[in-house]
Chains A and B, each alone.
Chain A
Amino acid sequence: MIEEPYRWVEAIANRREYIETQLAAGSPIAALGYGEGILFLTLGQARQKLFEIYDRIAMGAIGHPGDIERLRMAAIELASTEGFTRSAADVSLRRLAHYSLSPVMKSAFEQVYGPPFLARLLFAEIGAQPENDLFLRVEYDGAIATNGATAAQRSQDFAVLSGTRQSTELMESFRKSEHAADASLEKALNTALDAWSIGHMSLGKEDVNALPERTAFAQHRQEQVGANSIEAAVLERKGAGAIRYRLLSEKEARDLIGD
């Protein structure tokens, strides 16, 4: 196959299509900055999808549980050994994603005789100031999208992850229009739930290009909140200890949204 580049390209294309199909049903995850930190939110029924990686780093993932687990363990191992041998401040999400996860995921994806990672990951790292926050998405092929400021774009304090590109884009465009950086946790939870609902509605539908009416996604949200459990976690900017990750209990989340 190495001697036949065309077949390799074809195999990669097939593989991409296969993985996209596998991931297409994934329940969206929204991460956004608010007044006191960063909120992660998703709805689901069974499996935990939000995880603590290190003191200031959280991860959300969709995909195959086995693959998510391997990547999660690798990320925790790397962060923990780095934090132990150097210092907690030396653990960096940027390095973790760019130098460790991305190359491994890319090579697994492109070695067509081996299994790829059926997973899409969303990370956030909380900084001392909101402008130091890092949001980062790693795809199954090792591609990375960040909120990082470049000459062309301003840094954004949110990121989303979903089963399809269309769903991801709709959530992003909603978040751009609705979001306030200094929102309370309560407000942020509501915005995240709305974004989740918009993303979730569009899964399985083709060619949805415009945001749905408020009444439509509000109704969808109400149904889904009733049928699923709310999974939410925060990275808090000002904490007493080094560990800034905190899982919100179901009750706490529901009390905040007045459910």
Chain B
Amino acid sequence: MDKLPMALDQNCSGASEDFPSLLRRKGLRQTPLDGPIAGGHQPFVPTESTTILAFKFSAGVLVAGDRRATAGNTVVYDRADKVLEIDRHSIMAIAGVPATAWEMARVLEHSFQYFRRTQLQEMRVDGKVRALSKLLRDNFGFVMQGMGMVVPIFATYDFDTNSGGRLYFYDAMGAQFEVTDYAATGSGSPAVRGILHYANNWSDKPLQRLSEDEAVTIALRALDTAAESDTATGGVDRSGKIYPLIKIVSHDGIATLPEQKVASIFNETVA
């Protein structure tokens, strides 16, 4: 019998196979497991992007990223989007190589939907967190070849256990770490962590009790501070009027703060 143009002879439940495996079966996704990439050892300076941060506040989880992408000493792009919506309640923010990160975000987005459509139920938070972990692990071969390093933050809202916003950061090998208060990754992250730690412990109130405007203020101050010492972090471009991208995950879904609002809070409390 002729080979059917689609996989009708496969295990139908879809449970044995996740979306990345489907892509591999169809030859649509290459990973280092398939062998080394030609030219991987030649001098190559990949485009990278930094810095991202996230913390829980009174209304949910705030995720913010500066807009700069660099390659070595060169600023490649000043309007990069590093805070990516994966589904109605999940955000992946990325520090590292955007080419890899955007592809990962795309696979992840389709993974969640593929699971929901085939299995007729939403993927649990633990499953989503693990899915990103597996993508990072698949990518580790590229990292060892000196390119394609991605260090993401994942923020989502947990309806399963009713525990509200959940926040994770990862290392390049795919280990996931859940945090209770805040996370920051990328080259500007040491400064950001310092500020968030200070704000959380010794300011008027801890991060979790901040209002939205107060939370945005802290996020902008942290990114501006990171940009002060880290050339790879864009911070706020005062002349070009380019502001960090800020999104909030809450029970109602994901809200992107309008640039105007970010600008007015910046002018009032940071500039």
A78, CB-defined interface residue at 8 Å: yes
Contact of A84 among B4, B110, B120 (CB under 8 A): B110
A69-B12, A70-B12 known; A103-B5 Cβ under 8 A = yes
In the complex, the answer to whether B110 meets A80 with C-beta atoms within 8 Å is yes
Contact of B6 among A52, A53, A74, A243 (CB under 8 A): A74
Nearest residue in A to B85 (C-beta to C-beta)? A241
In the complex, the answer to whether A73 meets B23 with C-beta atoms within 8 Å is no
Contact of B118 among A73, A78, A84 (CB under 8 A): A73
In the complex, the answer to whether A80 meets B6 with C-beta atoms within 8 Å is no
B124, CB-defined interface residue at 8 Å: no
- Distance in angstroms between the alpha carbons of A84 and B20 in the assembled complex: 11
Residues from 87 to 144 in A contacting B, C-beta threshold 8 Å: 99-100, 103-104, 107, 111, 114
In the complex, the answer to whether A48 meets B120 with C-beta atoms within 8 Å is yes
Chain B: minimal CB distance from A230 (Å): 17
Chain B: minimal CB distance from A94 (Å): 16
- Distance in angstroms between the alpha carbons of A203 and B116 in the assembled complex: 33
- Distance in angstroms between the alpha carbons of A77 and B113 in the assembled complex: 11
A148, CB-defined interface residue at 8 Å: no
Chain B: minimal CB distance from A67 (Å): 10
B26, CB-defined interface residue at 8 Å: yes
B12 contacts which chain A residues (CB < 8 A)?
Answer: 66, 69-70, 73
A114 contacts which chain B residues (CB < 8 A)?
Answer: 1
Chain B: minimal CB distance from A213 (Å): 39
In the complex, the answer to whether B110 meets A241 with C-beta atoms within 8 Å is no
- Distance in angstroms between the alpha carbons of A150 and B6 in the assembled complex: 30
A104 contacts which chain B residues (CB < 8 A)?
Answer: 4-6, 8
B114, CB-defined interface residue at 8 Å: yes
- Distance in angstroms between the alpha carbons of A83 and B120 in the assembled complex: 19
In the complex, the answer to whether B88 meets A241 with C-beta atoms within 8 Å is yes
Chain B: minimal CB distance from A91 (Å): 12
A48 contacts which chain B residues (CB < 8 A)?
Answer: 120
By CB atoms of chain B within 10 A, which of A74, A81, A85, A241 has the most?
A: A81
A70-B12, A73-B12, A85-B28 known; A78-B114 Cβ under 8 A = no
In the complex, the answer to whether B19 meets A80 with C-beta atoms within 8 Å is yes
B33, CB-defined interface residue at 8 Å: no
Nearest residue in B to A111 (C-beta to C-beta)? B1
In the complex, the answer to whether B120 meets A77 with C-beta atoms within 8 Å is no
In the complex, the answer to whether A74 meets B120 with C-beta atoms within 8 Å is no
> Quick one: CB contact mask for B81-117 with A, threshold 8 Å, 1 for yes?
0000000100000000000000000110010011011
B199, CB-defined interface residue at 8 Å: no
By CB atoms of chain A within 10 A, which of B8, B14, B23, B106 has the most?
A: B8
A76, CB-defined interface residue at 8 Å: yes
B107 contacts which chain A residues (CB < 8 A)?
Answer: 84
B7, CB-defined interface residue at 8 Å: yes
Chain B: minimal CB distance from A258 (Å): 28
In the complex, the answer to whether A80 meets B28 with C-beta atoms within 8 Å is no
In the complex, the answer to whether A73 meets B28 with C-beta atoms within 8 Å is no
Besides the known contacts A53-B117, A76-B117, 9 further A-B residue pairs in the complex with CB atoms under 8 A apart: A51-B117, A70-B12, A71-B8, A74-B8, A78-B6, A84-B23, A84-B110, A100-B5, A240-B253
| 29 examples of A-B residue contacts, CB within 8 angstroms | A48-B120, A51-B117, A53-B117, A69-B12, A69-B13, A73-B12, A73-B118, A74-B6, A74-B7, A74-B8, A77-B6, A77-B22, A80-B110, A80-B113, A80-B114, A80-B117, A81-B22, A81-B23, A81-B26, A81-B28, A84-B19, A84-B23, A84-B28, A84-B106, A84-B110, A99-B5, A100-B5, A240-B253, A243-B113
